[in-house]
Amino acid sequence: MAVKIGPQPEKWLRKKAKQGMRGYPVGTLAFYGPDDRRASKVAVSVIRYEGAEPDLRRWFSEASDVRTDPTFLSEIAAHLRQNSVHSVVMVDGIIGCPHEEGVDYPMNQSCPECPYWKGRDRWTGELDPN
């Protein structure tokens, strides 16, 4: 059964995030991309109660930015609504490479597909001086 979100899922997500913690279940969104300009992956989790393991789902895009693509945003909003989230936590920026360490490339190494992130702090975007 489809859940009606309305014509502006991005607005619904941002509004939900601005409301702050309103209880469980909590939905989280984290964006990843090959650089700091285009998010090619979004990881969305639903945490049903405090201490619960997150139920994780990922969306990927080869061409568009998942932060602004209406199709992805509609699917994400529908997923969160279907899981009856009361709170949404999301970052505005891109917080790292879309590839997974230990899965897509060896542990303790930089991703060979995303040189932008080599030696870069995922939260500030600045290069590590070391």
Residues in contact with 115: Cβ distance below 8 Å, sequence separation at least 6, in sequence order = none
pLDDT on residue 121: 87
For residue 3, what pLDDT band results from cuts at 50, 70 and 90? very low
Dihedral in degrees, nearest 10, Cα atoms 114, 115, 119, 123? -40
pLDDT band at residue 130 using 50, 70 and 90 as cut-offs = low
Measured between alpha carbons, how far is 39 from 97 in angstroms, rounded to an integer?
9
pLDDT range class, residue 6, cuts 50, 70, 90? low
Q: What are the C-alpha distances in Å from 47 to residues 24, 83, 121?
A: 7, 10, 26
pLDDT digits (tens, 9 = 90+) for 19-61: 999 999 999 999 999 999 999 999 999 999 999 999 999 999 9
User: What pLDDT is recorded for position 2?
Assistant: 44
**pLDDT per position as a tens digit, 65-123:** 999 999 999 999 999 999 999 999 998 899 999 999 999 999 989 999 999 999 998 88
